[in-house]
Structure 1
Amino acid sequence: MERVGFVNVWIIGGGSVGLLLASYASKAGANVTVVTNGKEQAEALNREGVSLLRNSIASFHPVDAIPFECLSSLKTATIIFLAVKEHQVKRVLTKISKLKINSPIFFLQNGMNHITLMQELRNSVYVGIVEHGALKHSNVKVEHTGIGIMRIGHVLGDELELKPFWDKLSSVGYSVDVEGEWLEVMKRKLIVNAVINPLTALYELKNGELLHDETIVSIMKKLCQEAIMTLQLKDHEDIWTYIIQVCQNTKENKSSMLRDIESGNQTEIDAISGYILREGLKRKISLPYTLDVYHQIKQKERSDIDG
């Protein structure tokens, strides 16, 4: 296999997003190491690699893996992708700081709470907005459920020359697009998440099923309007069309928020709707629909914990 300039990709997080990226990065010829939450998954990945399912066809891609608790060095990393949930970012950055790692860091989180943490780093910083659909079936098996784009923006520090790697990733089926206005891209993604994720979790629907109910579509439009007004998106004329397109392109997907509710895990509602509410409070904007879904999700979280 042709190696892409000996790119050493470290992916912290062995969830659906991390495994999907790991499989394609390996397929693109990079040396891939996945940092997992536990020892069992690391052992399985070292033994079996990542099994990628796309259009009912399985392929297998070798990776190295190490549990987070055993992480002692990232010095070989060309790139470090943080594919963990928003509320886990601070813990990971604390570890990276202690290891005195200078490698560029790519943030792949939903929401925008981590912007402050990003801007405190001395590393080169990028954001990756993942619009690919992914479903994790096991510790080593991930399905590519929606073909989208990973939009990349450079935030801080020296910019890497990684165009050959992005081109190779795109050529093997994981499309990448380098964006200039990274903050605007993050805002657009946040609006999509703020509209789709809470409603799929509340109504227990796949993304595409939201569009089948007129009442839900009406709420979606209200959430979209509130988010646009609060975030002051520069170019928002096509954002509603974009939301519909995302629902259609990922129609069989369960959102990460719905999967978290089903699994009894903490959701990213504070990083998504919570962020919009805090920005609205600063600007003294009333956001009744966003506030309502926020409280309903928080109630669901508490119910799952109590139950």
Structure 2
Amino acid sequence: MKIGIIGGGAVGLLFAGYLGQKFDVTLIVRRELQLQSLLMNGITVHKGGSSFTTRVDSDLLTEVSMKFDFVIVAVKEYDLKPLEKVLELMDKNQPLLFLQNGIGHLEWVESLPHHNLLAGSVEHGALKENDHVLHHLGVGKTNLALIKGEWGAVEELVSQSIPSFPFLLKQDFEEMLLTKLFVNVLINPLTALTRVRNGKLVENPHLHQLQRDLFQELLLLYPHMERNVSFEGVVEICNNTYENRSSMLKDIESERKTEIESILGVLLEKAQREHHFVPIMNVVYRLVKGIEREGLGG
């Protein structure tokens, strides 16, 4: 099975590193330097005290038709729009799997002309060291759900998945993404603002109370999610990923653009439309945006 993966960041490298052990994988990147690094070295994944290297094909992202059994889109949410022309040149029956955090991209994804669209929720932790090396820090699973169409070749991916890199099929893509969004809201922006690892959010009573307040504000926006997400479940994730540094914290430290718009910005828009009062969410959003702006040059 031929799999195309768009995006040479931590998630793209992680998926190519594992899936390339079993399938014919092409990692599609933007920069010539990364392309050459991948072709020369392959992808090295460090996990615990061991490591492995996977050889994959690699190519530059160009506006040409790419023929795969299915394509995984692993760029950040704010990098999706520039991909539109490339995606539209692909076979419309080719399944597209989107792995972005948040829900801000859903309307755009649903507007695409492709017949088979899927969403994924990644529970793994990964840290990119350079263009071909990454650290697999938190081992989890990848949840998949149909947005529209049929599973197609994705069923083969699930049935043949590597035990250490499992996939799980879900029935409701919105419920799946909202479950992940609850976790992201209670971890990512708070770690980014306070520069602490995930576990410290639970240990520090002041930060833990902020988590509780944010959880209640999320339930104001999505009361039906109370049966799917528990605050205790988020605490467990913080403890299980105690030493992990969230992707938003890493973005802030590297003075990169964050995913705050797709994680909190979209929720504040919903709150405004529906006249909900979410003061903690608003302050957290403004603080992250302010720090982000300073890091990007003001």
Return the TM-score normalized by structure 2: 0.95
Question: Is the contact made by 2:69 and 2:153 (CA closer than 8 Å) also made in structure 1?
Answer: no
Q: Distance in 2 between matches of 1:121 and 1:233?
A: 28
- Residue of structure 2 equivalent to 1:4: none
Residue 21 (str. 1) matches residue 15 (str. 2): yes
1:153 aligns with 2:148: no
Question: Residue 253 of structure 1 corresponds to which residue in structure 2?
Answer: 244
1:84 aligns with 2:78: no
Once the two structures are superposed, the pairs formed by residues 144-183 of structure 1 within 5 Å of their partners are 144-171=136-163, 173-183=164-174
Q: 1:201: how far off?
A: 0.3
Tell whether 2:258 aligns with 1:267: yes
> Which consecutive residues of structure 2, in runs of 5 or more, have no partner in the other structure?
none
Q: How many residues of Structure 1 are paired with residues of Structure 2 in the alignment?
A: 297
Equivalent residue number for residue 3 of structure 1: none
Kept in 1: contact 2:65–2:89 (CA 8 A): no
CA contact (8 A) 2:198 2:239 kept: yes
Report whether the alignment pairs 1:60 with 2:53: yes
**8 Å contact kept, 1:81–1:105:** yes
The match for 1:298 is 289
Distance 1:196 1:202 in 2: 10
Opposite residue 56 of structure 2, the aligned amino acid is: V
Structure 1 alignment gaps of length 5 or more: 1-6
Instruction: Evaluate the alpha carbon distance shift between residue 97 and residue 162 of structure 1 in structure 2; reply closer, same or farther with a 3 A threshold.
Output: closer
Name the CA distance, whole Å, in 2 between partners of 1:8 and 1:167.
Answer: 15
Aligned to 1:198: 189
CA deviations 1:141-183 (Å, max 9, x no partner) are 1111001111000111223153342133242x11211001211
Give the letter aligned to residue 149 of structure 1: K
1:127 is aligned to 119
Percent identity between matched residues is 30
Change (3 A) 1:219 1:178: same
* Alpha-carbon distance in 2 for matches of 1:233, 1:169: 32
User: Runs (4+) of structure 1 moved beyond 3 Å?
Assistant: 98-102, 161-164, 232-238
RMSD (CA atoms): 1.6
How far residue 305 of structure 1 moved from its aligned partner, in angstroms, is 2.2
**Residue 3 of structure 2 is aligned with which of 9, 24, 34?**
9
Q: Which residue of 1 aligns with 2:34?
A: 41
Amino acid at match of 1:85: K
Give the letter aligned to residue 11 of structure 1: I
Q: Is the Cα–Cα contact under 8 Å of residues 231 and 279 in structure 1 kept in the other structure? A: no
Q: Are positions 1:278 and 2:281 aligned together? A: no
For residues 102-134 of structure 1, the C-alpha deviation after alignment (integer angstroms, 9 at most, x for no partner) is 411111001111111111122210001001111
